[in-house]
Amino acid sequence: MAEDIFDVTIIGAGPTGMFGGFYAGLRGMKCKIIDSMEALGGQVSAMYPEKDIFDVAGFPRISGKKLCQDLEEQLMRFHPLIILGEKVLTLVKRPTDNVFEMTTDKGNKHFTKAVVLALGMGSFTPKKHPNPELVPYEGKGVNYGVLSLEPFKGKRVLIVGGGDSALDWALMLEPIASKVTLVHRRDEFRAHESSVQKLKVSKVEIKLWHELKTVKGNGKVEEAVIYENHTMAEETLPMDFVVLNFGFQASLSFLKDWGINLEKNKIPVNPKMETNVPGIYAAGDIVTHPGKLDLIATGFAEGAIAVNFSKTYINPGEKAEPGHSSSLKL
């Protein structure tokens, strides 16, 4: 069977990968997108579909779910081949024709002239609470994200954390929950200043210098035990849900097997989004470069840059500058 060789294959179908796929279509490139998850949207779809996002240009606020739906509509205008539920295991560049050959965990092979790595944080898993007593309650009141707001209506909710996600969830749940309590182990937040100000004037009960010790209940969360981390004094709160926001752990060791250099668990790239391997580009939260900001807006720009320069890699006579999309008939 003849090999079906694509111009560019994007590994990762989060916002960065989806927008990169759209730009590949704008440039007339034969594009494939591969993701190990079963749906488009990456971490946004998997962890924050109901969360409002406020820093996407042109949208005063937009939910993660709606953003991914709009990105999918934009992407599918050019009908790229989407492969979901497959994890790329091997990536090698053939010396005979410089085509990249990939093998997935389904045993399928994929062939491409250029690769864009839009892996987000890689194979991510939420950081767990150190107390194993919480494990039996995971999915039974202990959550590491909010996939739907509906179960929280009229409930008592404890938010644990002091970053953007913790404050966002506290502010989103406050109007619909019967009570929201936020505990944070310090007296300073790592969230955006505007979120901190909104939290302070909200009805959310804030307990600084507090941490979660354990949860109790009969088959589901009914109480949460917290403690003041200076005096170690404990307090038991009646609670229906506990939402933990400790961040994520990323596994990127497989990139070394692909010959990709890593720098503090990130891929260093140049202004063209080139990695150390010619023909492999990277964009989004996975990359590092001077002035890097881990924002969705930054990922959009990096995805477009990576795809446009992959165009010049494939066809050196082509320009990287795509021109204005307003001049195209779409």
Residue-level pLDDT at 309? 97
Mean pLDDT of 211-229: 97
Residue-level pLDDT at 48? 75
Categorize the per-residue pLDDT at 329 as very low, low, confident or very high, splitting at 50, 70 and 90: low
DSSP calls for 212-269: EEEEE-SSS--EEEEEETTT--EEEEE-SEEEE---EEEE-THHHHTT---BTTBEE-
Mean pLDDT of 188-214: 94
- Let me know: does 294 contact 121? Beta carbons within 8 Å: no
Q: How far apart are CA 177 and CA 241, in angstroms?
A: 10
Phi, psi for residue 19 in degrees, rounded to 5: -70, -35
Computed from CA positions of residues 218, 223, 229, 231, in that sequence, does the dihedral angle turn out positive or negative? Answer: negative
**Distance of alpha carbon 75 from its chain centroid, rounded?**
18
Categorize the per-residue pLDDT at 122 as very low, low, confident or very high, splitting at 50, 70 and 90: low
Residues 6 or more apart in contact with residue 213 via CB below 8 angstroms? 131, 225, 226, 227, 234
How many C-beta neighbours within 10 Å does residue 265 have? 15
Residue 323 scores a pLDDT above 90: no
Give Rg (Cα) of the chain. Answer: 22
Residue-level pLDDT at 244? 93
Q: Which one, of 71, 66, 75, lies nearest residue 31 by Cα?
A: 75
**Residues written for the chain:** 330
Categorize the per-residue pLDDT at 189 as very low, low, confident or very high, splitting at 50, 70 and 90: very high
Computed from CA positions of residues 138, 140, 146, 148, in that sequence, does the dihedral angle turn out positive or negative? Answer: positive
Residue-level pLDDT at 191? 87
The model's pLDDT over 256-288, given as tens digits with 9 standing for 90+, comes to 999 999 998 899 999 999 999 999 999 999 999
Q: Which of 3-17, 114-128, 223-237 has the lowest mean pLDDT?
A: 114-128
Q: Which of 54-58, 97-101, 219-223 has the lowest mean pLDDT?
A: 54-58
Report which secondary-structure segment, H or E, holds 179.
strand 179-184
Which is the CATH superfamily of the domain at 5-124+248-327?
A: FAD/NAD(P)-binding domain (3.50.50.60)
The distance in angstroms from the start CA to the end CA of the chain is: 34
Q: Which one, of 157, 186, 187, 192, lies nearest residue 174 by Cα?
A: 157
Categorize the per-residue pLDDT at 1 as very low, low, confident or very high, splitting at 50, 70 and 90: low
| Tokens read off for 63 | 């939910």
**Distance of alpha carbon 96 from its chain centroid, rounded?**
36
Residue-level pLDDT at 113? 98
- Let me know: does 155 contact 175? Beta carbons within 8 Å: no
Report which secondary-structure segment, H or E, holds 21.
helix 15-26
Q: How far apart are CA 140 and CA 133, in angstroms?
A: 13
Q: Which one, of 28, 25, 27, 35, lies nearest residue 110 by Cα?
A: 35
Q: Give the type of residue at 277.
A: V
Q: How far apart are CA 15 and CA 31, in angstroms?
A: 16
DSSP state of 170: H
Choices 3.40.50.1820, 3.30.450.80, 3.40.50.720, 3.50.50.60: CATH for 128-244 = 3.50.50.60
The CA-atom distances, in angstroms, between 67 and each of 88, 196, 304 are 26, 24, 17
Q: Which of 9-18, 126-135, 198-207, 225-234 has the lowest mean pLDDT?
A: 126-135
Residue 330 scores a pLDDT above 80: no
Categorize the per-residue pLDDT at 192 as very low, low, confident or very high, splitting at 50, 70 and 90: confident
Residues pairing with 267 in the sheet:
287
Categorize the per-residue pLDDT at 124 as very low, low, confident or very high, splitting at 50, 70 and 90: low
Residue 229 scores a pLDDT above 70: yes
DSSP, collapsed to helix, strand or coil, labels residue 58 as coil
128-244 and 5-124+248-327 share a CATH fold: yes
Domain boundaries of the chain, sorted by first residue: 5-124+248-327, 128-244
Beta strand 210-216 with 88-93 is unpaired
The model's pLDDT over 140-150, given as tens digits with 9 standing for 90+, comes to 999 987 878 89
Mean pLDDT of the chain: 92
